[in-house]
Amino acid sequence: MPYKYAHLSDPAPAWLSVAEKHAPLDTLSSEVYRLPLVEFRKVPYKASPLPSNAPQTDKDLCIRTNTVTVRDGTSISLRIYEPLEKKEGRLLFFNVHGGGWMVGTPETEEAQNRFIAMRNDAVVVAVDYRLAPEQPFPHAIHDSLDALLWCVEHVSDLGIDPSKIVLGGGSAGANIVAALTLLLRDDLSLLNNNATVIGQVLNIPVTCHPNHFPTDKYELHSYEQNKNTPLVDAARMHLYWNNYISAADAGNPLTSPLLAATHTNLPPALVQVAGLDPLRDEGLAYAEALKNSGVATDLRVYPGLPHAFYVYPDLEPSQQYFDAVTEWIAGLKKD
């Protein structure tokens, strides 16, 4: 059977121009991800550099931190991005960072968060959820949900309109966001204060454990085609999965949202997929599942680019990637 998406794995000229000149970022190198787990966790995480046109603190926006207490009494932090002008009733973009559930910080999607705050006149709250393997599933989901509920309870302090909430995440963060939308759909009592999630941004998402992928419905060849690709390869994804969940949790819709019994009545979605990514096919499958369930879904595909290619911020496709998010949110606000 021919591979339907094989052409998306052909390296893009824009990526080849970077790959020839630059080694992967320090914390994303192959050597780091192949260290024994104990050593891996000792490597300092570094967020990617900002694009040259990224909004600046004090000039364009302010960034502050806040501490919240989650359900088990642990304190976690939030990174809050706001336009300089104080104002009420702004859209809230709640971001859950990527990093395979094992690494990353609220600054992982720093450029995106700054662009959204500035271009969409929004308040962006990025949650510093606890990481695996020390805190495996479901801690990341619980921490993120509790932080979101804190935002809903503090709309006046944040200057947000609770009826205009967009959830967003990248990679493992998108996985957590997809899980949150399922939880919030199935239990309307979780949100109060007239809070409404009007959209979800799923960037290069993890949507299903490969051992449970429904190959009778969707194609899954990207783990094979993109097995040894830069930045995140198939072996790293298995490392992440093995440290986030137990074998019994692999088929749980809260870890593999593609396996949910239904995807109806979920918020409108922007799904962004990289063609040279092991996660490509599960992102495409999730977009298809959402569309087939009547969810308004905007799918953007970046052929020939690896997972998290936007860590090279001055690539033209990286700018397109950031623009897609802010333009999609602007469209939500108009609607």
Domain ranges of the chain: 6-334
CA distance 19 to 282: 25
Q: Among 300, 266, 265, 298, which residue's Cα sits nearest to residue 280?
A: 300
> Which one of the listed residues 263, 277, 281, 318 is annotated catalytic?
277
- 72 labelled catalytic: no
Sequence letter at residue 240: Y
The CATH code for residues 6-334 is 3.40.50.1820
* pLDDT of res. 23: 54
Question: Which residues, in sequence order, are CB contacts of 38 under 8 Å at separation 6+?
Answer: none
- 171 labelled catalytic: yes
> Which one of the listed residues 142, 209, 263, 307 is annotated catalytic?
307
Q: Among 173, 154, 145, which residue's Cα sits nearest to residue 72?
A: 145
Give the mean pLDDT per block of 10 residues along the chain (335 residues). Answer: 86 87 52 69 77 94 98 98 95 97 94 98 98 96 98 97 98 98 96 94 98 96 93 90 95 98 98 98 98 98 96 92 98 87
Q: Residue 301 in contact with residue 8, Cβ under 8 Å?
A: yes
Q: Among 240, 200, 233, which residue's Cα sits nearest to residue 308?
A: 233
Other beta carbons within 10 angstroms of residue 34's beta carbon come to 13
Return the SS3 of 153. Answer: helix
What is the pTM (predicted TM-score) of this model? 0.95
* pLDDT of res. 27: 44
How long, in residues, is the chain? 335
Q: Residue 37 in contact with residue 115, Cβ under 8 Å?
A: no
> Which one of the listed residues 171, 222, 256, 318 is annotated catalytic?
171
* pLDDT of res. 25: 46
